[in-house]
């Protein structure tokens, strides 16, 4: 039964996300597997390491880690709010802050995410390899379960919870995946859009 359940899990993941079968379901799998077609652009998280380069100003080249409050400090600019921003948006913020040093001209700034270590989520409960993972890209719930080794034999996939931190406090998102692991229309109709996306700081609980 366990082998059958695992095979169904991998088949669904392949059909809905176009991820090749046979890849290892661990952190290395998350780094190497291609993103789904609706993969959203990466926004910076607290804990990420980013590289900043101001063209023509090597003294302003920096590798900084975004602080827990989602900000970092940059010379001549001061505090920059980075969390939730695209790299291009951070480039614009730094360029605007440096305009006074360039006599009204906008300097050319490049920002890249060097180490997306701030994007983390945890999976606990009835999975084969529970733990905290840093995938390096956004994943959805099925991908998160795959990274955690897949569900164990007696997992209740109709009552999976995603516990999420919000400004208003903790909230719980329920997901029903049981029907998707059975042969029939439910499995065939599964799409990436119907699977909850995982946010940084989420905890997935599989009872």
This prediction's pTM: 0.70
pLDDT computed for residue 183 by the predictor: 61
Give me the pLDDT at residue 84, please. Answer: 93
Name 117's Cβ contacts closer than 8 Å, sequence gap at least 6: 47, 48, 49, 134
How do residues 54-68 score in pLDDT, each as one tens digit?
998 889 999 999 999
Reported as a single tens digit per residue, the pLDDT across 8-37 is 444 444 444 433 333 333 333 333 333 444
Q: What is the mean pLDDT of the chain?
A: 81
Structure tokens at 32: 């190497």
- Tell whether the model's pLDDT for residue 77 goes beyond 60: yes
Checking if the pLDDT of 191 tops 80, the result is no
User: Structural domains in the chain?
Assistant: 2-38+119-206 (3.10.560.10), 49-115 (3.30.1950.10)
Q: Cα–Cα distance between 98 and 131 in angstroms, integer?
A: 42
Q: List pLDDT tens digits, range 115-138.
A: 999 999 999 999 999 999 999 889
pLDDT value for 24: 37
Q: Is the pLDDT of residue 203 over 90?
A: yes
Residue with tokens 């900043």: 52
Answer yes or no: are the C-beta atoms of 25 and 33 closer than 8 Å: no
């Amino acid at each position: 039964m366990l082998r059958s359940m695992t095979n169904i899990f991998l088949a669904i993941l392949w059909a809905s996300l176009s991820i090749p079968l046979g890849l290892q379901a661990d952190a290395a799998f998350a780094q190497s597997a291609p993103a789904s077609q609706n993969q959203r652009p990466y926004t910076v998280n607290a804990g990420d390491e980013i590289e900043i380069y101001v063209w023509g100003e090597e003294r302003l080249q920096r590798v900084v880690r975004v602080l827990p409050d989602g900000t970092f400090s940059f010379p001549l600019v001061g505090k920059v709010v980075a969390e939730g921003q695209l790299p291009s948006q951070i480039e614009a913020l730094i360029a605007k802050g440096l305009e006074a040093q360039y006599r009204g001209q906008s300097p050319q700034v490049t920002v890249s995410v060097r180490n997306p270590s701030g994007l983390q989520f945890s999976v606990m409960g009835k999975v084969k390899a529970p733990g905290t993972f840093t995938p390096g890209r956004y994943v959805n719930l099925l991908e998160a379960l795959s990274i955690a080794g897949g569900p164990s034999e007696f997992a209740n996939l109709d009552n999976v919870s995603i516990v999420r931190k919000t400004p208003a406090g903790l909230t719980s998102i329920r997901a029903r995946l049981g029907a998707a692991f059975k042969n029939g229309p439910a499995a065939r109709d599964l799409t990436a859009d119907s699977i909850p996306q995982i946010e940084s700081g989420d905890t997935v609980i599989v009872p």
